[in-house]
Amino acid sequence: MPVKKIEGLSTVDEIEKKVAEETPKEKPPRKKWVRPAILCLLALTILVSVIDLSSSSIVKTLAGVGSVSGFVANSKQTPVPAEIFVLTKGISTSADDNGQFLLTNVPAGDTILIIAYQGIGKEFPVKIMAGETLFIGQVTVEETQIPPEIQP
């Protein structure tokens, strides 16, 4: 049976053609590596910022820590490799071959600094200011004679 076209109505083919034209074109697919790359760059930026901030004196001030530096020598003014520590805090360092030392991350406030050499220690009351280095100058330590080893 022949199909009669009614004036003013579209055919099925014409409707399909219009629908195809009106359907929005698909967006091009995203590259799958873009999102992970952006997240990695963001994480790296945050990590670098945290590392940079943690080494700044601002963080040390906010954390309430300071440093102590000085020079250790014996009674003949010869530099000695003494041990320097804050006993109650478990913080310690050693003087170098020139007798110089820098003790870091000492909590701010009044504390007792101990400088020991050959088993003999001296106590020094110090007041640590947050974010600052306290220079205590030269400290003279006593030396003891080490007895010779007895051979049987």
Q: Residue 133: give its domain's CATH number.
A: 2.60.40.10
pLDDT score, position 18: 80
Quick check: is 14 in a domain?
no
Per-residue pLDDT tens over the stretch 68-110:
999 999 888 999 999 999 887 889 999 999 999 999 989 888 9
Answer yes or no: do 56 and 71 share one domain: no
CB 138 within 8 A of CB 111: no
Which domain range does residue 58 map to?
A: 30-63
Between residues 25 and 42, which one has the greater pLDDT? 42
pLDDT score, position 33: 80
CB 138 within 8 A of CB 71: yes
pLDDT score, position 38: 87
Final residue in a domain of this structure, among 13, 43, 63: 63
Quick check: is 76 in a domain?
yes
Per-residue pLDDT tens over the stretch 1-31:
566 666 767 777 787 888 777 766 666 666 7
Quick check: is 146 in a domain?
no
Instruction: Please compute the mean of the pLDDT values over residues 117-130 and round it to a whole number.
Output: 88
pTM for the structure as a whole:
0.55
Model confidence at 143, pLDDT cuts 50, 70, 90, reads: confident
Answer yes or no: do 97 and 107 share one domain: yes
Quick check: is 89 in a domain?
yes
Quick check: is 86 in a domain?
yes
- Which strand (E) or helix (H) includes residue 73? strand 65-73
Quick check: is 3 in a domain?
no
Chain length of the chain: 152
Answer yes or no: do 124 and 71 share one domain: yes
Final residue in a domain of this structure, among 13, 44, 63: 63
